[in-house]
A and B are shown apart, each in its own frame.
Chain A
Amino acid sequence: MNFWWFLLISVLKIAVVLFILLTAVAYTVLLERKVVGRIQNRWGPSRVGPFGLLQPLADGIKLFLKEDLLPTAVYKPLYILAPCIALACALTSIAVVPFGADIKFKGVDLFDIANINIGLLVILAVTSVGVYGIALSGWSSNNKYSLLGALRSSAQLVSYELALGLSLVGVVLRAGSLNLRTIVDVQATHGALSWNIFGGFQIVAFFIYLTAAYAETNRTPFDLPEAESELTAGYHTEYSSMKFAMFFMSEYANMITVSCVATLLFLGGWSSPLGHLLPSFGPILDAIFPVLWFVAKVFFFLFVYIWVRGTLPRFRYDQLMGFGWKVLLPIAIANIVVTSLWLGFVKPL
C-alpha cells in the first residue's frame, strides 16, 4: 500500500464522513422537531423552504451570527475549552465505525476511516473522555445550575457506562473479537435470523444497551443534566451562540454514533435482513446496497430516540441512579453469565 495513496484517500474519507455526519446532525434536529411536533399534534417548522427543509440552514446562520457573550464570572480557558472537547470527542468516535462492505481501493478500505482490532474499545474510550466537556462546562461557568447539571451528568455517565460496557460483552463473546467488522461478519450469515438481537439471543443486552445509551447521550427520559424545569438549561446555561451550537451538535452527533454502534452490534450492521436471498446486482450496486441498509437502520434508531422523547416523562434523580445500579447492572451481569454458559455448552469453541 502506497503511503501517499493512503494519506490522500484517508483525508478524502475523513472529509466526506465529517460532511455527512454534520449534515445528518442538522437534519436530525429538523426530524426531531417535525416528529415531536406531529406527536404533539402541531406542524413543527414548515416555513423555511419546502416542508421546512431549509430550517437547519436558517438555525445555523442564526446561531453563527448571534453575539458571543462571555459572562464576567466564568473561568475563561476552561469555559472555551469545554465545548471544543465535547464536540471533538463526539466527532472522533465515528472514525472507527464501518458503514459498508469490506471493499478496498489501492489497499485502503473505502467504507470506514480506520479498521482496527480494538474498534469497540476505541468507541468506549472516546465517549468516556467526552464527559470532560460537560463536567468542565458546568464547573467553569460559575453558576449553580450549571454546576448541578454537570455533577449530575458526570455521575450519570460514570454509572451508566458500566451497564453499557457490560451489555456489549455478550456480543463480543459471540464474535470473539473487538473488531467491528468481525462482529458484523459473524451476524451476516443468515440475514436477520443471525443478527445478534435475534440469532445471538442478545435481545436483553440490546435493551440494556439502548437504555444506557440514552442515559449516556443525556436524552429523555434521562435528560436530568439539562432538565429545563429545574436547572434552566443545566450545564450549558451560560453558553450562547457558536459555543452553545457546539454542545448542541455534539449531543446529536453522539446520538448518531450510538445509533451506528447499536446497528453494528445488534442489527447486523450493513448486512441485509434478507441474507443471500437477494440476487447480486453487479459490483457497484453490491457496494452501495449495504450502505443503504446501514443508513436505514441508523435512521430507525434515530426515530426511536425521538419517539421516546415524545412519549416518556423524565426520571427523578434518585430513580435514575437506582435504576442504573440496581436494575440495569444486575441484568447485564446475568446476561453475561447466561451468554457465556450458552456459548460454552451449546457452541464449544
Chain B
Amino acid sequence: MRKSRVVISLLTAAAISVSTLLSGCSADSGKDGVTTVTMLQYKPEAVKAFEKIEKLFNETHDDIQLKIESPNEAMTVLKTRLIREDYPDIVGIGGDMNYSNFLDADLFEDISDIEVIGEIKPAYLKMEKELELLPKEGTYALPYVSNAAGILYIKEMFDENGWEIPETWSDFIALCDEIKKTGTDLLYLGYKDTWTCLAPWNALAVGLAPSDVCSSVNAGKTTFAAEYSEVAEKIKVLLDYAEPNPYAYSYNDACTAFARGQSAMFPIGSYAVPQILSVNPDMNIDSFTFPANDKEEDNVLNSGIDLHFSVMKGTKNKEAVYEVLRFLFKDETVQIYLDEQGGVPCKEGDFELPDFLSGMEQYIKNDRMSDFHDHHYPSEMSVDAMIQTYLMDKSNNSAQIFLERFDKEWTRYNRDLIARVKKYEEGQK
C-alpha cells in the first residue's frame, strides 16, 4: 500500500511540475492595472512598420501595453496556436481563404459597433463580405491596406527605348516581341516558389473570368474548364518571354534579378516592391494593369485586401482592443505603415499613393478592381503547384489535363462546403 502511494505521489508531483513548466510559457504577466493586448500579424516584411506603431502606442498609453508579434510563416504559427487554443487578441492577416475558414469556424468577434468602420471605403467592406463562405451577419474584419498586382516595370528602361505601356493583350505581345528583338530579357519569373505562379494567374483571371467563379462552381452553375481555359492558355504564352528554366529560381531570386535590371518587367504584385527596393534603393519602378483582354475597357485591376484586423472571439479586454484598433486607423498610423510598406490604404482620406502604383491609379480611383481569385481557393488544394505542374507539362493537351484536374480536385477539396452551400440555398428557398 505504502509503496504504491509513494509512486502515485511522485508521479503526481512530476506531472504537476511538468504542467506548471508548460503553462509558465503562456502566463499573462502584466503589471497591476496594465492590460496587455497581444497582436499577431502575418507580414514579416512589415515588422519595422509595426515596431514603430507598437512603440508609439505604448508611449502614449499608460494603461494598455501592446505587443505585436510578426513571426515568419505566421499563418502556420497562428494555426498551431489555434490548435493549442492559445489565442492572441488581434490578428492582422490577409483577406484570403484562411480568413474565410477562420471566420467559418466562428473564431472572430463581431466588431460592427466600432466607429472606424464608417471611415473605410465601402468597396473593401464589400470584398470582405464576399470572403464569407456562407453569408453572415455583422463585421468581422477591418480592411487596412490592399495591394494591387499586375506588371512592374523599370521606368528608365521603358523611357529610354520609347516603349509604350500596353493596354491590350495584342499590344502586350507586340511589345514583348519587340523587346525580345533587342536582346533584353523581359520577364523574370521565380516559379520555383509555387505561389509566384499565382501572381500572373490571378492578374489574368480577374480580367478573363467572372469574379464569383468559385461560388458559381460551388453552386453547380459552371465549371472551371469553361471559365479558365483562356487564362490557362495565356499564362503559358508568358513562358516564351521569360528566362530559360524559370523553375530554378525562387521569388527572392526573381526580385533580386529584377532589382538588378536583368529583366524589363516582372509580373507580380505591389507587395514585392519593398523587397526589390531593399536590393536596389535607387530603382524607379512603375506598374501597369495586366492587359489580359483585347479591349482595354474589359481589363480589371487585380487588387485584394493585403492586411486586415480581426478580433479573436473571447478576448478579455474588448475596450483595450478597440483602443488599439482606433489607434491603428488614425491617419498618422496608416501613414507610418504606408511609408514603410507601400500599398493602397482601405481608409478614406488623402493618402499619397506610392509612385510605383501611379500606372494603376486610374483603375484604383474608378474602382475597376477585383479580388485575387486564389483568395477563394482552399490552400490544401495547392492550386499554385497545379499551375506549376501545368506550365512544366509540355504535352499538347496539357491545358485540358490541367483544367479537368482543376474541376475534379475542386469538388474533392470543397465537398463539405458544396454540401453546406446546397443546404443553405435550400434553406433560403
A complexed with B: no
Interface positions of B (Cβ within 8 A of A):
none
